[in-house]
Amino acid sequence: MTTDVPAPEVVLLTRSGCHLCAEARSTVDSVTARLGLTWAERSIDDDAELAARFSEEVPVLMIDGVQRDFWVIDPARLERLLTR
Contact 14, 43 (CB under 8 A): yes
Residue 84 pLDDT: 81
Task: Determine the pLDDT at residue 58.
Answer: 96
pLDDT for residue 4: 75
Q: Structurally, how many domains does the chain consist of?
A: 1
pLDDT in tens, 25-56: 999 999 999 999 999 999 999 899 999 999 99
What CATH number has the domain bearing residue 71? 3.40.30.10
Asked if residue 3 is part of any domain, the answer here is no
Residue 18 lies in a domain: yes
Tell me the whole-structure pTM to 2 decimals.
0.91
User: Is residue 75 one of the residues assigned to a domain?
Assistant: yes
CB-based contact 10:31 (threshold 8 Å): no
pLDDT score at 15: 96
Reported as a single tens digit per residue, the pLDDT across 3-20 is 677 899 999 999 999 999
